[in-house]
């Protein structure tokens, strides 16, 4: 069981992660724009490389079995949030994903002493960005006002401050447009940079036509980034970040990125 800790941890330090294997039904996954159906074997290859990257970065990864009844269930970050202090079971905003939190609940209750159920509204984990000062909750088509306010209350029970913001227009999730590179730096799209949401942070803006690169993932000493965004990778490398490119062309067909494929936290018991 995870024990609560008050120690301040860098937001990118993780030693545990949960992933869910992709289902063969993944070709029926949700998407805002039709870019063709992803190939299961392509999705599986990208997911396997992602899991290998997490492990190479020093993270112990638990792989949950595929859920054929839920095509989007490999995006395990949306139905739950995890912290050293405990976990929150969310209520995904897409009707087809509503029961995913029920599926993962028993596993999380076996890991964490405190597991809180979102009591109202809808909220996806893709709209939640953890910063050193607070947890930023983005309003979107998947996260509504009642859900965001309920989530803020749940976070307070874990001792976490939060702030509700408007996600960029036409973006699926807040983290579609941003990611934390370190405790004071955000990688974000030009539109999000102009919004003022991250005033006070150093902001690295994605190059033109590489907005999707904003959904990168810092894990310990490496930044996982989409291999299809060479200028972003070059920019991050020039700033001193160790970047590991990963193929995301198939998951990108169903509006997915790197952050949504895992739940990550620092487990003090695993040291």
**Residues composing the chain:** 271
- Residue showing tokens 């396997």: 48
Active site residue 154: no
Compute the distance between CA of residue 66 and CA of residue 25 in angstroms, rounded to an integer. Answer: 10
Active site residue 47: no
- The helix/strand count (H/E) of the chain reads as 5, 15
Which residues are CB-contacts of 180 (< 8 A; sequence separation ≥ 6)?
11, 12, 129, 130, 131, 186, 187, 218
Which position among 154, 178, 188, 260 bears the catalytic label?
260
SS (H, E, C) 184-229: CEEEECHHHHHHCCCCCCEEEECCCCCHHHHCCEEECCEEEEECCC
Which position among 2, 154, 173, 188 bears the catalytic label?
173
Query: In terms of Cα–Cα distance, which of 48, 54, 57 is closest to 22?
Result: 48
What sign does the CA torsion over 180, 184, 188, 194 have? positive
Q: Are strands 16-20 and 60-64 parallel, antiparallel or unpaired?
A: parallel
170 Rama sector, left if φ>0, alpha if ψ -120 to 50, beta otherwise: left
Q: How many CB atoms lie within 10 A of CB 110?
A: 9
SS (H, E, C) 66-110: CCCCCCCCCCCCCCEEEECCEEEECECCCHHHCCHHHHHHHHHHH
Query: In terms of Cα–Cα distance, which of 116, 100, 138 is closest to 18?
Result: 100
Q: Which amino acids are annotated catalytic? A: 173, 260
């Amino acid at each position: 069981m995870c024990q609560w800790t008050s120690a301040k941890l860098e937001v990118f330090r993780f030693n545990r992660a949960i992933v869910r294997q992709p289902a063969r039904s993944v070709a029926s996954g949700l998407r805002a724009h039709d870019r063709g159906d992803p190939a299961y074997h392509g999705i599986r290859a990208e997911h396997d490389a992602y899991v290998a990257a997490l492990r190479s970065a020093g993270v112990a990864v638990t792989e949950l079995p595929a859920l054929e009844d839920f095509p989007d269930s490999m995006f395990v970050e949306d139905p739950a949030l995890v912290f050293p202090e405990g976990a929150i079971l969310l209520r995904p905003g897409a009707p087809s994903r509503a029961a995913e939190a029920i599926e993962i609940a028993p596993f999380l209750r076996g890991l964490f002493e405190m597991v809180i159920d979102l009591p109202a509204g809808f909220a996806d984990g893709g709209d939640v960005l953890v910063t050193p000062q607070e947890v930023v909750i983005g309003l979107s088509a998947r996260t509504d006002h009642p859900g965001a306010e309920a989530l803020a209350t749940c976070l307070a029970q874990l001792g976490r401050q939060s702030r509700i913001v408007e996600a960029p227009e036409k973006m699926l999730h807040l983290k579609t447009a941003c990611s934390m590179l370190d405790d004071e730096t955000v990688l974000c799209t030009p539109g999000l940079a102009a919004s003022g949401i991250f005033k006070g942070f150093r902001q690295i803006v994605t190059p033109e036509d590489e907005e999707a690169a904003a959904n990168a993932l810092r894990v310990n000493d490496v930044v996982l980034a989409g291999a299809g965004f060479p200028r972003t990778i070059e920019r991050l490398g020039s700033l001193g970040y160790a970047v590991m490119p990963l193929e995301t062309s198939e998951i990108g067909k169903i509006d997915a990125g790197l952050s949504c494929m895992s739940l990550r936290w620092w487990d003090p018991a695993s040291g």
